[in-house]
Structure 1
Amino acid sequence: MEEEKSLDLMGIKPVAKAVEKATDKTVDGLGSFFGAICMPAAEEFGLLLKDKVAAYRQRNLEKISQKAKNKIEHQKIEISGQANPVLIREVLEEASWCEDEEIQSMWAGLLSVAAGNTAVSDDSLVYTDTLKRLTPFQARLINEIYFDPRCCSVKPPIGNHEGDVFYPENKLIYSVVDVLEIYPGDLSEIVPIANASHEKILATENDHSIALSRFRPQIEALKVLGLIHDVKFLNNGKEGIYVFPSLKGLDFFMRCLGYSVYPLEAFILTLQHWNKLKDIDPFTCQKT
């Protein structure tokens, strides 16, 4: 006992034990949540959490699981206990590295949908590959586009739209400042303009096209992923962007909110209903 005390010169053993105890409690809580969603693999997920998921990833998973619980409760989803175990593995292995709140919420949306499905009926897995590719900026831009009331300014017969594209009557045009303000960090750290602060970049029109060009690859990548049908950079980006939404993007957006709604007509009508509750007319409103 005396020898142990002499080795613990900084007195950190009690702290280490407290951290270990808190970590065990977190792991047990996560194991219970993921086990409830996917009961057949509950034991395996518990072992995986204990053996392979370090404290940093545990914190991220804890946030994601809490967000998923909130969505499940809010939407009154009845947990089946038969979610696809491959989806849960993807969350444990991929989502656990994500510390961005917006993307964590999107992972939580996929989990909440999966919680009410069975491994046979659950197709949430097809969305995980797309989600793990997104940057924080792209995630926010997707939410900006499909939360935009103008996105659902589509009149019946909605089902007449061909392929993976639909055309809102109220165009989705965003100014350069609209786009730049979506970025969650300090623009001065990534935009190549010398001695320009975040505020100066937003306020200086001459800097806008340079700043927007920094995000052009990420915006165009959303088209490659199919999350938007097309995007036009107005006057080479000096006047903003014109976005054409896609069915795949709207489907992805709804899934990441925690909703599984089919077909396209139901998607649009759901968004129109949400806006009506807020007394917003998608056909006449301006950018909010």
Structure 2
Amino acid sequence: MAKDKINKQVNNKIKVDLDGFDPLGMKAVGETLSDSIEGTSKLGLKAAKQFLSLTCKPLFEEFGLIMRDKLSTYRLNNIVKVLEKAEGKLTFDLTTETLKINPRIAYQIIENASLVDDNDLQEMWAGLFAASCNKDDDDENIIFIDILKQLTGSQVKLLNFICQNTKKWIEFSNLPEAIKRGTIRQVLFVIHLHDAMTVMGTENFAKVSNQVSALFNIGLLTVPTQRPYNTSNPFEKNTKISAIPSLILLQLFVKGQGSNDTPLEYFSPVVKSEIKSKIGHYIEFDPDSILNFLYEKNRLVAKHQILYSSTTLFAKRASLANLSSVELNELFQALALINYDKFDFEKNYEVVDNGQLLGSFHFEQGFRKSAAF
């Protein structure tokens, strides 16, 4: 059944007949292996050959000779597993698009991945291979190879956990620049020692301390600049780690998913989903344009320099008294929306202007002017 699936993919989807075609020089290797190479079947080896022939044929024709002569069963098994994972992460339509990967990138990924049997590391190498398959044949991802080959499986487990669970947010005042740079803001992530050890799959404190220290030292984890921090002992009072994923870590994480999105593009659906959960009950909006919508609301609030506390809405400098009730209502609603994660939409806020009570505001009930005004 699996063989039929492979044949169907080759004949119907890719429309390439690879029977008898051995661009990798792997036929001799396959013939000497048993039906299962540490859990990877000959069918998996054949699928890997087909996949490589479509991505970087020139390099792997040469590399196949190296594998035939020198590659151990252990390394071949790891390569097959990584390539199977990489193919599963591709989003290309092979019937209409041509896959390319820079030979320099492909060789180094396979060379390093062949020595890795940890599943989480294999997933990252596979994602990086998939993300390197593009139309431009560039070598941009070479920097991520140099980072990834320094990491252990335990470190990757922790980094993936932090990237997935750190709260993301978008600074609407700087949205155009964020889109241009592909950046997204994050809050400080805190994980307790016991939880970190569980995530990393170890009960060895020294191992966790050393490996987390290394993540700070190579710049994958950072801390707010105003906080003194001893990276040689990354735990606060030996109980927790406090860190923010760096931009390069987020980029590596996204590449490891097989994506060429920027961190902003990749994590935007998460942010949009949170926005919907916070304000979807109060207003109707187009999810695809919600970021631009809130950007315009932020410009309105910034123009009048409106701020709020736990009980009060007020202008930092300008007077609010000259604005109509309709304008004030629009202004305060904009303030609430851009602060969706902290603003209390069910609360009555006092509106104060130059020390005097101007009225009150409730998101659904709107602005109500004080009788004194």
TM-score, normalising length from structure 1?
A: 0.69
More helix by share: 1
Deviations 1:128-183 (A, max 9, x none): 11111101111011101111151x1344235578x9997534x3111112111112
Tell me the distance in 2 between the aligned counterparts of 1:142 and 1:214: 15
Partner in structure 2 of residue 197 of structure 1: none
Cα distance, 1:96–1:258 mapped onto 2, change above 3 Å: same
Task: Verify: 1:236 aligned to 2:252, yes or no.
Answer: no
**What is residue 123 of structure 1 aligned with on the other side?**
140
> Does the 8 Å CA contact 1:176/1:237 hold for their aligned counterparts?
yes
Kindly state the Cα deviation for residue 65 of structure 1 after the two structures are TM-superposed.
Answer: 0.8
How far has the Cα of 1:21 moved from its partner? 7.1
Structure with the bigger percentage of strand? 2
Distance 1:245 1:283 in 2: 21
Alpha-carbon contact 1:77-1:116 (below 8 Å) kept: no
Distance 1:235 1:68, change over 3 A: closer
8 A contact 2:48–2:84 mirrored in 1: no
Identical amino acids, percent of aligned pairs: 23
1:221-253 deviation digits (Å, cap 9, x = unpaired): 112222122385454222x11112211111111
Quote the residue 1:254 is aligned against: 254
- Could you say if the C-alpha distance between residues 105 and 265 of structure 1 is closer, same or farther in structure 2, counting changes exceeding 3 Å? closer
The list of structure 1 runs, each at least 4 consecutive aligned residues, that deviate by more than 6 angstroms after superposition, is 21-24, 163-166, 277-282
After superposition, the Cα gap between the structure-2 partners of 1:279 and 1:39, relative to the gap in structure 1 and judged at 3 Å, is farther
Q: Superposition RMSD on alpha carbons, in Å? A: 3.5
SS in 2 for 1:98: coil
Q: Name which structure has the greater RCO, CA cutoff 8 Å, separation 6+.
A: 1
- 1:67–1:105 contact (8 Å) kept in structure 2: yes
Judged with a 3 Å threshold, the aligned counterparts in structure 2 of structure 1 residues 37 and 277 are, in CA distance, closer, same or farther, namely: farther
Kindly tell me the number of residue pairs found equivalent between the two proteins.
236
Deviations 1:24-65 (A, max 9, x none): 946554333223211232421322221222111111111111
- 1:182-261 matches, within 5 Å, as 182-185=199-202, 187=203, 191=204, 211=205, 213-230=206-223, 233=234, 235-238=236-239, 240-261=240-261
Is 1:70 equivalent to 2:71 in the alignment?
no
The match for 2:52 among 30, 34, 38 is 34
Q: Which amino acid aligns with 2:238?
A: G
Matches within 5 A, 1:115-194: 115-119=133-137, 121-150=138-167, 152-158=168-174, 168-169=186-187, 171-185=188-202, 187=203, 191=204
1:47 aligns with 2:65: yes
Query: 2:143 corresponds to which letter in structure 1?
Result: V
Name the amino acid aligned to 1:136: G
Give the secondary-structure state (helix, strand or coil) at the position aligned to 1:243. Answer: strand
Task: Say which one has the larger Rg.
Answer: 2
Change (3 A) 1:158 1:180: farther
Give the aligned partner of residue 111 of structure 1.
129
- Code of the residue aligned with 1:179 in structure 2: it is A
Deviation at 1:89, TM superposition (A): 1.1
Q: Which runs of 5 or more structure 2 residues have no equivalent in the other structure?
A: 1-30, 280-339, 343-373
Q: Secondary structure at the match of 2:254?
A: helix
What corresponds to 1:95 in structure 2? Answer: 113
